[in-house]
Structure 1
């Protein structure tokens, strides 16, 4: 297939859109040829930051057309593709593995490892945006009730890294990861965030470490309750103080180091969903109670819980905050979607306060009447340890896990979560490449460079 004619030095996209007939093999071959034509055009252009306006337009035409082709193909074949990649749903593939399997088995449907590695050489504003194509694929799978549920199951299974560390954790009660410390104290496992250089902001490394930590807490039979708390940080304003979380690391977003599969979608399907719905240990069982391991979770909030930090609190069973702390979801200011916060916050606060927080940037401080909607207890900073110990005792009873399981089922049915994430996947990745977000993170980065 010829991708383009050439007008002067600029190739022009001319490939006709494929007509899919509903036969998987034939339609896959047509998509492969169409996507190859798009790659041919891109190969004739300089890298994105060095393109002229006309070259940008040519690239956008090819990329947009190929993306539309993928959407049309997946509208017909998403379930059949998923079944083939998972051997009839007998294998559980995590997001990244699933996407690369799709790229290998159905060329042109999803970015390859080589293409994604090349994207990693650029800051966010200078990438081709291949993660958008990953989101198109994931959204199509999640829109299917059957395939989407199977993918959610795959992401609820223990990670290989946690399984490797489990025996050591059971024996010593301690695992020290790069950005997280997990310690067993009595009936509780304390998970401490240690991204000290960035106010415990979330990045790819912290998300991976937190999923490992959550797996260990849920797998260790000696643990009844999980406790999340931020460690001490290096920031001059909070030097030596504990901070819960500053949310997404916007410097990493600017630098192109926030992954769609490992962070933007992976955190929602990974460690946060495991805390909420439990760890999948027996996928073949019929009853949900027999398939998963669930335990109650406590959040101890020092200083603040911003963005992703506040999102995390929405799935916990007890939230304790120190006096003077505050909570916020600055989604409108940052220009992105606050994870599953839009799905969950209104359940706790009601619709109007949720809109004030998400759309208007309202902060909820511990001295405000609305604090009780997102926080169970406010204590002086010096009393936090005692308050956490009391909460552990109260939540360690044998019936607590069973009741919180039933609460979760009634509050957020799996299909509601699945359909939300199908839309979230495409909306969030599009926002992460939008001009307003790129401009904001660039301005913040420039200011930080000037201060340094």
Structure 2
């Protein structure tokens, strides 16, 4: 863990004593509720009766955890962050909670065992993380502090910044960043998998966004997909095919490091900018910049979610946008929070609930993109957009638009419910059935 957390460090010893003592009693009840699990085989080998026994035990234990978190979330978070003085990122919060409140969330041993299993064979410990994070995000002080902490630049970005400022280029693996004139051009370059996102790409994207925001020579950020080597799209640019389903089925997509970090980290920074203690600017506030997205071929799933936070979107005339999350069995990030405002309730429901594709040449596309151009002139359209958005008055107007359209408080409440609902979806019977079939096909 990178923070300065120590479970014994407290700002109010009496309060900490109460909350840890209360959890001590609750943890005993959790242990009793989960006792039947000790005699069961691993999840993949359980009979239908044993599956029912495990489910009943988990539900009983989770009811105890939920009751505790519902009443003690602020105190728990204050304990973990030394009275809101230690900034812990979301992964550090759950790690610290596992140390300070045993049995409240899974410990590293339980997580490591689950990481070694395919999704269909996991125990579902991430649901317990979802219970904690729902409670913390619901709690006004804790939730706001956590969201603001997630807007800080990553240590990786801070370490790379001097070299990026000097050279104007950074190759992060799945994302390349290059400063050209007034713009930082971020290119997603997972050419083998059509820019499908996994844990590593979330890490690289947040680093790339941080670099663009931290470099004072950058006025505008640009995001575009690179040229693919994938057989079907070889030689073509692709924006994004969304979540990496192969990684999801293999159990390599995590609730904390992918699904939540993605929303609270780099996507939130695209909207709100970076909160940095290093900033000496006046008036105080986030370091934020306008962003341009260029859609080549398609923006599917997570790619479509990304578009909902950009200031200007250019789409090639042969591209399309879709949100097939309902068919995949999961929730499409914060799209449920943002899409209705952008396209209206009817189109939002068709896209999210039925997976309807919106082609760039469809009339409805004008609600999702700002320009539709021939594929050959996307680059020229990007340059023209950068020039417009680099104007000085863009920043204050952008700030006021974003504060009006997406208040942090509304986002906090949405993400609180998302944290647990998405965790449930990862381990729901329909998703498990789908990933099990996928694994069987792969083995065959």
When normalised by structure 1's length, the TM-score is: 0.91
Q: Secondary structure at the match of 1:290?
A: coil
1:43 pairs with 2:38? yes
Residue 409 (str. 1) matches residue 416 (str. 2): no
Q: Residue 368 of structure 2 is aligned with which of 374, 391, 396? A: 374
Asked if 1:308 corresponds to 2:295, the answer is no
1:279 aligns with 2:274: yes
Matched, 1:103 2:98: yes
Paired position in structure 1 for 2:219: 224
Deviation at 1:439, TM superposition (A): 2.1
Q: CA RMSD in A?
A: 1.9
Stretches (4+) displaced over 6 A:
283-287
Q: Deviations over 1:358-406 (max 9, x none)?
A: 1121111011111110000011111011111111111011221221111
Distance in 1 between the 2:280 and 2:177 partners?
30
**Distance (whole Å) between structure 2 residues aligned to residue 301 and residue 448 of structure 1:** 31
CA distance in structure 1 between the aligned counterparts of 2:153 and 2:34, rounded to whole angstroms: 37
Residue 18 of structure 1 corresponds to which residue in structure 2?
A: none
Equivalent of residue 327 in structure 1, options 321, 335, 340? 321
- Whole-angstrom CA distance in 2 between matches of 1:281 and 1:304: 34
Match in the other structure for 1:437: 431
Cα separation, 1, equivalents of 2:248 and 2:199: 10
> Which of 172, 184, 187 pairs up with 2:182?
187
Inter-partner Cα distance in structure 1 for 2:235 and 2:279 = 48
Mean CA deviation greater in 339-348 or 33-42: 33-42
Give the corresponding residue for 2:248.
253
d(CA) in 2 for partners of 1:422 and 1:306?
A: 25
Distance 1:318 1:448, change over 3 A: farther
Does residue 341 of the first structure (1) align with residue 335 of the second (2)? yes
| Corresponding residue of 2:419 | 425
Partner residue, 2:83? 88
The secondary structure found in structure 1 opposite 2:221 is: strand
Q: Secondary structure at the match of 2:91?
A: helix
Q: Structure 1 446/384 Cα, relative in aligned 2: closer, same or farther at 3 Å? A: farther
* Cα shift at 1:63: 1.6
Match of 2:26 in 1: 31
CA distance in 2, matches of 1:447, 1:385: 40
Q: Offset at 1:447?
A: 4.7
Count of aligned positions? 428
CA distance in 1, matches of 2:330, 2:369: 24
Q: Which of the numbers 262, 276, 284 marks the counterpart of 1:267?
A: 262
Q: Which of residues 106, 119, 122 in structure 2 aligns to 1:124?
A: 119
Partner residue of 1:11?
Answer: none
Q: Give the CA deviation at 1:235.
A: 2.0
1:314 and 1:341 in contact (8 A); partners too: yes
Change (3 A) 1:388 1:241: same
8 Å Cα contact 2:237/2:296 also seen in 1:
yes
Paired position in structure 2 for 1:365 = 359
Equivalent position SS for 2:147? helix
Gaps of 5+ in 2: 1-16
Please give the alpha-carbon distance, in whole angstroms, between the structure 1 residues aligned to 2:229 and 2:56.
Answer: 46
Deviation at 1:126, TM superposition (A): 0.7
Deviation by residue 1:112-171 (Cα, 9 ceiling, x = unmatched): 111111110111111110000001000000101111000001111111111110111001
Q: What SS does the aligned partner of 2:309 have?
A: coil
Aligned-residue offset at 1:60? 1.9
Q: Which residue of 1 aligns with 2:346?
A: 352
